[in-house]
Amino acid sequence: MRLARVRTEDGAVTGEYDDGVVRADGGEYAVDPHGGEGDADLLPPCDPSAMYCVGRNYAGTLDQMDYERPDQPDWFVKPPASVHPPGEPVEYPEWTDELTYAGELAAVIDERCTDLAPEDVDDAVRGYTVVNDLDALDQPGRTARKAFDQSGPLGPWIETDVDPEALDMTTRVGGESRQEANTELMLFPPRETVAFLSERYTFRPGDVVAFGSPANPGLVEPGEDVEVWYEGIGTLRNEVVSE
């Protein structure tokens, strides 16, 4: 099942997405996950208090960036202000000249929980979605680089019935293929990562855990679309535009 949130005259509504329609209590809404015309606009599929993002989680990324292999998941936090809807343009920040993309799988937490064992993670996770972890590479420190407004496009929906540990993925920028990998190549798989972070944080419903990106071969420029596809979930698409 695919769970989506839409913006309506009565506020945010959550329902089941199927073939271009979100069906919720009280109505049906035609939507375009890529930002076209419809009865309602898609919102991020959840409203997290935080996005916990893991870096350095693919060997290819370590090789590209000349990083050492971590002994445990290496993470940072994006605030709610970073979350951005699927299909809506992302403004290229005026204070950077090096904006990069990163197509990532993400888990959405379903219930307040802490100190999970890996075998208990499935019961605590609502499902999986896609995030584009934008990074202003020329800024000092991870918070300045990664935690700015609109730096975490999220969506287009939550897939509740998918195994996260063997999914193909691709990222296309301006129609050009830039990333291609499988989640089985992660150094720290999703269930292990959620359990690890739950030892340090109390998760709240709607919180997001993103599992890192394969090697990231380049920049994104104003006017280019970024399309991140994960097998069994779907495609997150946002255009990067000049302010």
Residue 14, class by beta-carbon neighbours within 10 Å (0-12 exposed, 13-18 middle, 19+ buried)? Answer: middle
- Which residues lie below 8 Å from residue 242, measured CB to CB, with a gap of 6+? 91, 92, 222, 223
**83, two tokens:** 């979350």
Phi, psi of 149 (to 5 degrees): -55, 135
Q: Which of 182, 192, 174 is nearest to 213 (CA)?
A: 182
pLDDT (tens digit, 9 = 90+) per residue, 202-236?
Answer: 999 999 999 999 887 689 999 999 999 999 999 99
Question: For 149-185, how does the pLDDT look when each residue is reduced to its tens digit (9 = 90+)?
Answer: 999 999 999 999 999 999 999 999 999 999 999 999 9
DSSP state of 136: E
User: Which amino acid is located at 234 in the chain?
Assistant: G
- Per-residue pLDDT, averaged over 72-85, amounts to 97
Give start and end residues of each alpha helix (H) in 25-107. 59-65
Q: Which of 9-13, 190-194, 239-243 holds the top average pLDDT?
A: 190-194
Q: What is the maximum alpha-carbon separation in the chain?
A: 53
For residue 75, the one-letter residue type is W
Are 221 and 96 contacting, i.e. CB atoms less than 8 angstroms apart? no
> Which one of 26-35, 136-145, 216-225 scores highest in mean pLDDT?
136-145
State yes or no: pLDDT of 38 exceeds 70. yes
Q: How far apart are CA 241 and CA 243, in angstroms?
A: 6
> Which pLDDT does position 217 carry in this prediction?
67
Which CATH homologous superfamily contains domain 44-242? Fumarylacetoacetase-like, C-terminal domain (3.90.850.10)
Task: Give me the residue spans of the domains in the chain.
Answer: 1-43, 44-242
Mean pLDDT of the chain: 94
